[in-house]
Structure 1
Amino acid sequence: MSHTPHEIAEEFPEHVALIHHLRETDGHFHRIANEYHEVNRAVHRGETNVEPLDDFHLADLRKERMRLKDEIYRMLVQHEPVLEPIAEG
């Protein structure tokens, strides 16, 4: 199993600028991103045995991380600029 941290910017590299912008301008996004960071850190520390966790607790943390990641993704997609079709002619 990989013990690589799943940082938000690494999970969504195409949205790095938007992530930075939303962290500064959207309080809800900022809170969710911070919560993701804390859960992700706990998962990483558990996986690397820095702070050993039982399998059930680690599984719950991974589920919570996935829930937060899904919410972050929905917020990123919601804020993506809509591209207007180019009129031919």
Structure 2
Amino acid sequence: MGSHALTIEFPEYVDKIAELKQLDADFARMANEYHKLDHQIAGLESRDMPVSDQHFEELKMQRLQLKDQIYKRLLNGQG
């Protein structure tokens, strides 16, 4: 499926992401959690692991919600 890394999802915010990760502990926590979820989802996709569809969908929903929160933070420029 390919990576959904934050720098790929938001290439125009690469510098802002790096800055907020350093200056904002809450943003850093969200970015770290997003990275873990993305890595877990990518691993399941690449190995065709027998995960219940519901579990897999829950992981993707969590990633989507985090991505939304991160994007709002990037737009607001809070840090």
Q: TM-score scaled by structure 1? A: 0.82
Gap regions ≥5 residues in structure 2: none
Question: Cα RMSD over matched residues?
Answer: 1.4
**Cα distance in structure 2, aligned partners of 1:8 and 1:52:** 27
Which residue pairs with 2:52 in the alignment?
Answer: 54
Contact 1:29 1:72 in 2 (8 A): yes
Which residue pairs with 2:34 in the alignment?
Answer: 36
Matching of residue 24 in structure 1 with residue 22 in structure 2 = yes
Which residue pairs with 2:65 in the alignment?
Answer: 67
Q: Which has the higher helix share?
A: 2
Mark the structure with the bigger radius of gyration. Answer: 1
Give the length in aligned residue pairs.
Answer: 78
Per the TM alignment, residue 51 of structure 1 is displaced from its structure 2 partner at its CA by: 4.8
Q: TM-score scaled by structure 2? A: 0.92
Once the two structures are aligned, what percentage of the paired residues are identical? 36
Aligned mate of 1:14, from 5, 12, 15: 12
